Homo-oligomer: A and B are copies of this chain.
Amino acid sequence: MFHLLDIIGTLAFAMSGALTAMSKKMDPFGVFIIAFVTAAGGGTLRDVMIGHTPVGWMLNLEYVCIISIAFVLALLFRKRFDQLRTSLFLFDTIGLGVFTLIGLEKGINIGLHPIICIALGTMTACFGGVTRDILCNEIPVIFRKEIYATICILGGGVFFVLRKFGLENDILYLITSLVIICVRLMAVKWKWYLPTLEHQ
């Protein structure tokens, strides 16, 4: 179940990368790379920082295959992208929840402090999108619009609070993902933004 959600999230992240790259008039290779980086970048940064090398996606072909499928789907459906926007957004939200959980779990496994684990989960979920925006030469969208990373942090907090009550892992994962997914849906529906800060 968890694994299936990981696949769905990877697919969605890769498609969002591919579509951003296409809007920048990149060639197919560039589009593929941006798709790859958007989907695998967060996990790569996490693995490198905690010393889990070779990094996860290198160990078998699964991620390469999923991202290739996402790339082909993005090519095929690029004319009808507007109709797909809603499904893509849903997938992306699932990815956000699952990637946060994977990062949390990896941090817990090597005995890091809960707050560091939350940082790790947030990085896993958000860094791919940050790299996508840097490679496309834009200020990363998560720094400017939409409460995105904030939701990962909130989810991580919920996870550790519930964990104190001794809930089982499966239920913990389920509740945390649902919290992340629901809050994101509400945030987008009711346009919750953080105010921007300016000095002077």
Interface, chain A (partner B; CB < 8 A): 19, 21-31, 33-34, 44, 48-51, 53-55, 58, 60-61, 64, 74-75, 78-79, 81, 110, 112-113, 115-116, 119-120, 130, 134-140, 142-145, 147, 149-150, 193-200
Contacts and interface: CB of A to CB of B under 8 A. Distances in A.
A136 B139 contact: yes
A199 B51 contact: no
A30 B61 contact: no
Contacts of A29: 142-143, 147, 149-150, 194
Contacts of A150: 29
Given A28-B197, A30-B142, A144-B30, A64 B23 contact: no
A49 B60 contact: no
Given A64-B115, A139-B135, A27 B193 contact: yes
13 contacts: A21-B197, A22-B199, A25-B144, A27-B195, A29-B147, A33-B143, A33-B149, A48-B53, A58-B112, A78-B200, A79-B199, A81-B199, A134-B135
A153 to B, nearest CB: 8
Contacts of A79: 199-200
A116 B119 CA distance: 28
